[in-house]
């Protein structure tokens, strides 16, 4: 389909205007395409050739408005680092409308009513990070928003003591409604409008509930289930969101708003990837508990249309569900079957995590090399990349014993592990290399990493070094929110 044939639909204007701001994007100077994503094009039936036209760049830049589109920014509230902020919103993102049930949004498109003290812009650095990571997460099977394309420009913004070029990433989601959206609507104590928002979320994300009795409670239960699985997948792959405020917590159970995120380098259970998170609220290990806290905030916002006691009672299932998915996935990463152990091999996994931390072992590289291990008599491919070997040697004795008890072989374990243990994980130092080239006007590394992100289990001979442990000088670095 040609770009001009896309017809966008905007269905948010059924709400009162105090919940959104109709605003046109503010175009950047001399925009230029950095990359487009063919897989995302397929989702909206857009011809790839259209992405190489000036009209496509103009569309992302906001100087071209497609048929049916009325750009707008959403209002929402949120708890940021545990403190309630009553007025937030899309301060630099503008919603364009939906195509094929995918809601298009440009991030970095200029000032809106909700920009507060910001400039409404996103810099190239943060845009590249979101563009690549959303696709990397999708390829790992982790629910996420998607990204269609990214542009650079000759406009500049001040970030972290220097000027950086402004960029726009066109991202896509089945829904952009957040827990913070319900917090904002709840401020007005209008039961009918909160129910209207809940119906809107059900239509977008839980259509099977539309004709159900007690559908609002069931919407909440479904989100609890989805969030438990999402957080388990994050932790399985060592992902840290970095700023999981309620305004960054999706009502669709998706990973949204990539900021100071990180895939763990060497394992550290209390790792913090956001340098503004001084108390470690969003540390790796604390993420499920923050998610539970966010959902309890949602329960409070829904209390005018739901039985709050029922919501809180259902919340007792969150951590058990999270643990079940986590143990199941971690067993697969080890080539084992959680159902063949009374406690899902919990002790073995806890021992592994302690050993990885004590050994200063690269987390995801460990699992990839374990996948390809041929003998317990020669562990050098793994031990040689550990700073301290003894803890892992001890763990392998426990692992070998469990493998024997489950009557698995290296071959049968390989068949399980090869599906869940990627060779390539987009770590921050890898993305930083692409960012530095892009700042010089060379966008080739962004496109190379897009292919790797979307095919992490494949061989990429020219990029073999990215499958090696993170150099220690780049390991577990902390990032700012402007990242």
* Active-site annotation, residues: 247
- Distance between CA 207 and CA 312 in Å, rounded? 23
Q: For residue 105, which of 49, 178, 25 has the smallest C-alpha distance? A: 25
- Written as six digits, the tokens of 338 are 């959680």
Q: Please, what is the angle between helix 124-139 and helix 444-454, to 10°?
A: 20
Cβ–Cβ < 8 Å for 41, 97: no
Query: SS3 for 258?
Result: coil
Cβ–Cβ < 8 Å for 467, 427: no
- Distance between CA 463 and CA 364 in Å, rounded? 16
Paired sense of beta strands 146-152 and 32-36, if any: antiparallel
Q: For residue 385, which of 402, 373, 403 has the smallest C-alpha distance? A: 373
Which residue do the tokens 């239960």 mark? 221
Apex CA 162: angle with CA 160 and CA 165, to 5°?
105
Cβ–Cβ < 8 Å for 261, 471: no
Cβ count near 163 (within 10 Å): 10
- Written as six digits, the tokens of 19 are 């919940």
- Tell me the C-alpha to C-alpha distance, in Å, between residue 425 and each of 12, 37, 324: 37, 18, 24
DSSP readout, 261-318?
A: -EE-SB--TT---BTT-TT-TT-GGGHHHHHHHHHHHHHHHTTTTS-HHHHHHHGGGH
């Amino acid at each position: 389909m040609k770009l001009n044939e896309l017809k966008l639909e905007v269905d948010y204007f059924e709400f009162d205007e105090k919940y959104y701001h109709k605003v046109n994007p503010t175009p950047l100077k001399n925009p230029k395409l950095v990359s487009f994503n063919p897989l995302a094009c397929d989702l909206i039936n857009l011809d790839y050739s259209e992405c190489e036209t000036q009209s496509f760049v103009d569309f992302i830049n906001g100087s071209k408005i497609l048929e049916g589109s009325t750009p707008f920014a959403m209002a929402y509230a949120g708890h940021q680092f545990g403190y309630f902020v009553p007025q937030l919103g899309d301060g630099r993102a503008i919603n364009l409308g939906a195509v094929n049930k995918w809601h298009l949004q440009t991030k970095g498109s200029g000032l809106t009513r909700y920009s507060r003290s910001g400039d409404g812009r996103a810099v190239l650095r943060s845009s590249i990070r979101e563009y690549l990571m959303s696709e990397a997460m999708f390829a790992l099977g982790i629910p996420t928003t998607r990204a269609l394309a990214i542009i650079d420009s000759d406009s500049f913004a001040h970030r972290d003591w220097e000027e950086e070029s402004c960029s726009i990433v066109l991202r896509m989601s089945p829904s952009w409604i957040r827990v913070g959206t319900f917090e904002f609507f709840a401020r007005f104590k209008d039961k009918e409008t909160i129910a209207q928002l809940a119906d809107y979320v059900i239509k977008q994300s839980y259509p099977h509930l539309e004709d159900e009795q007690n559908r609002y409670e069931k919407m909440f239960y479904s989100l609890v289930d989805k969030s438990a699985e999402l957080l388990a997948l994050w932790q399985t792959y060592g992902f840290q969101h970095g700023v999981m405020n309620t305004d960054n917590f999706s009502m669709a159970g998706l990973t949204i708003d990539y900021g100071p995120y990180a895939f763990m380098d060497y394992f550290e259970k209390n790792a913090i990837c956001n340098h503004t998170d001084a108390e470690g609220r969003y540390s790796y290990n604390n993420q499920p508990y923050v998610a539970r806290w966010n959902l309890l905030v949602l329960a409070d916002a829904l209390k005018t249309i739901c039985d709050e006691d029922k919501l809180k009672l259902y919340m007792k299932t969150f951590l058990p569900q999270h643990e079940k998915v986590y143990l199941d996935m971690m067993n697969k990463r080890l080539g084992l079957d959680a159902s063949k152990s009374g406690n899902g091999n919990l002790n073995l996994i806890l021992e592994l995590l302690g050993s990885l931390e004590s050994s200063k072992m690269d987390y995801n590289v460990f699992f990839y090399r374990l996948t390809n291990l041929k003998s317990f008599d020669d562990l050098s491919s793994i031990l040689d990349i550990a700073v301290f070997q003894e803890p892992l040697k001890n763990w392998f004795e426990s692992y070998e014993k469990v493998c024997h008890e489950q009557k698995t072989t290296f071959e049968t374990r390989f068949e399980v592990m090869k599906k869940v243990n990627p060779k390539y994980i987009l770590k921050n130092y890898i993305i930083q290399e692409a960012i530095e080239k892009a700042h010089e006007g060379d966008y080739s590394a962004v496109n190379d990493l897009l292919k790797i992100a979307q095919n992490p289990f494949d061989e990429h001979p020219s990029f073999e070094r990215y499958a090696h442990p993170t150099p220690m000088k780049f390991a577990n670095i902390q990032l700012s929110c402007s990242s």
